[in-house]
Amino acid sequence: MSEEKTVTPSSRPRAVQSRIDNLRSQYSRGGQRRRERAEQLYSASQWQLMRAKFGKHKLAIVSLYLLGLFYLVAVLAEFVAPYDPQERSRQHLFAPPSEIHWFAADGSFTGPYVLSGRTRVDPATFRYELTIADDADVNPIVLFPKVEPYRLAGLIPMDVKLFGAEGRQPIFLLGADNLGRDIFSRLVHASRISLFVGFGGVIISFVLGLALGGISGYMGGRVDSLIQRTIELVMSIPQIPLWMALAAAIPPEWTGIQTYFAITLVLSLVGWTGLARVVRGRILSMREEDYVMAARISSAGTWAIITRHLIPGFTSYLIVHITIAIPYMILGETTLSFLGIGIRAPDVSWGSLLQQAQDVVVISNYVWLLWPAAFVVLAVVLFNFIGDGLRDAADPYAK
């Protein structure tokens, strides 16, 4: 709490000013807090600074919570989705999103319910139309209904769902597809594959990129130019045709899990180059820093310099880069699955759900088939907002 730092305005005599400051710091709690904050700022670690800065980025924080919700839903897919993704209802082919009613026919409040109905082909337009009888059954929507026992994520036995409709009418929050399967349930199950494909891909790219970029940057010379040329080579090949040809090599008889890992591998085989470049660039510039020289003079070994002095210096950059790399993986998976060479039925991913929406005439009849697209775009945008927030937070020179 020294007073030397306060700047004295020339209009006041020095002694008076210092007394005022003294009183302020004694009596105003705001001043006290500001001082403490400033002191904390001086002693804060890099991570605390980053977190504080990130916290000011409102959009990034909101995105983080929303995305957290996405992942929570993906983990709890069996609980959140009211039906099995493969469960068909023959009476509800292409059923539109269920209308949720809150009041009974006489106007009294009943709580949410859906009316029973079924879809039939309209003989004139050949389009499936929903018909609801005048005396249709009322099916209340309930929270935590009891269902057949199932296992959450294949592990935890459970017998309740988040919500569902009582009676014989299923509730289609986002409509039904060509086989009468609930799109919401399929979407929730699909998010498990689509959201986690990014993580797997990024981990592989991360290991490859960190190792090769690190070697390239630290060794320099011949090794460096060899690795750099390799990266340029991989980058110059059009990604999507290469993905397509590589995905084609996945044997059709492989199981869902195997295909999933193969797709992840295909995506990351191209994705590591960007990360390797970031790592190399950082290491190259930091290798020449004085503190690295100081460590070397103090006879620290190469390994110690890399792990103790270099890696902490660019971890924040790595995190930013990874956050931005994940949505690319998600888009890659979606594109491959949409084209029919990614995740295969019976497994569902956002891209494979969109396969039904390839034909504009079909979409114009059953526009709810496009729902998975909305989730893809939203997830990618959220990741990018978080990435922006992190980038600002990680940059020590940004205001």
| Sites of contact with another protein (CB under 8 A) | 229-230, 232-233, 235-242, 244-249, 251, 327, 331, 334-335, 338-341, 354, 357-358, 360-361, 363-364, 367, 370, 373, 376-377, 380-381, 384
Q: Least separation, in Å, of the C-beta of 7 and another protein?
A: 30
How far is residue 387 from each of residues 102, 121, 275, 317, measured CA to CA in Å? 41, 47, 15, 10
DSSP 88-156: --GGGTTPPPPPPEEE-TTS-EEEEEEE--EEEE-TTT--EEEE--TTPPEEEEEES-EEEEEEETTTE
CB count in 10 Å sphere of residue 195: 23
Q: Of the two residues 83 and 94, which places its CB atom closer to another protein in the complex?
A: 94
Separation CA 354–CA 183 (nearest Å): 11
Asked if residue 249 lies in contact with residue 225, where contact means CB atoms within 8 angstroms, the answer is no
Tell me whether residue 255 or residue 298 sits nearer to another protein (CB atom). 255
Nearer to another protein, 130 or 231 (CB): 231
Cα-Cα end-to-end distance for the chain: 26
Identity of the residue, 218 or 338, whose beta carbon is nearer to another protein in the bound complex: 338
Measured in whole angstroms, the distance separating CA 266 from the mean position of its chain's CA atoms is 19
Residue 372 beta carbon to another protein: minimum distance, rounded to whole angstroms: 10
- Report the C-alpha gap between 376 and 351 in whole angstroms: 9
Minimum distance from CB of 200 to another protein (Å)? Answer: 19
Q: Minimum Å distance from CB 249 to another protein?
A: 4
Minimum CB separation of residue 247 from another protein in Å reads 7
Q: Which is nearer to another protein, 112 or 340 (CB)?
A: 340
Q: Which of 78, 111, 46 is nearest to 311 (CA)?
A: 46
Asked whether the beta carbons of 350 and 337 are under 8 A apart, the reply is yes
Residue 75 C-beta: closest distance to another protein, Å: 24
Smallest separation, CB 342 to another protein (Å): 11
Nearer to another protein, 91 or 335 (CB): 335
CA angle 168, 174, 175 (to 5 degrees): 55
Please state, in angstroms and rounded to a whole number, the distance separating the CA atoms of residues 202 and 280: 17
Residue whose CB is less far from another protein, 80 or 320: 320
Residue 203 or residue 374: which is nearer to another protein going by CB? Answer: 374
Dist. CA 328–CA 323, nearest whole Å: 10
CB of 49 to another protein, least distance (A): 26
Count other C-beta atoms under 10 Å from residue 162's C-beta: 15
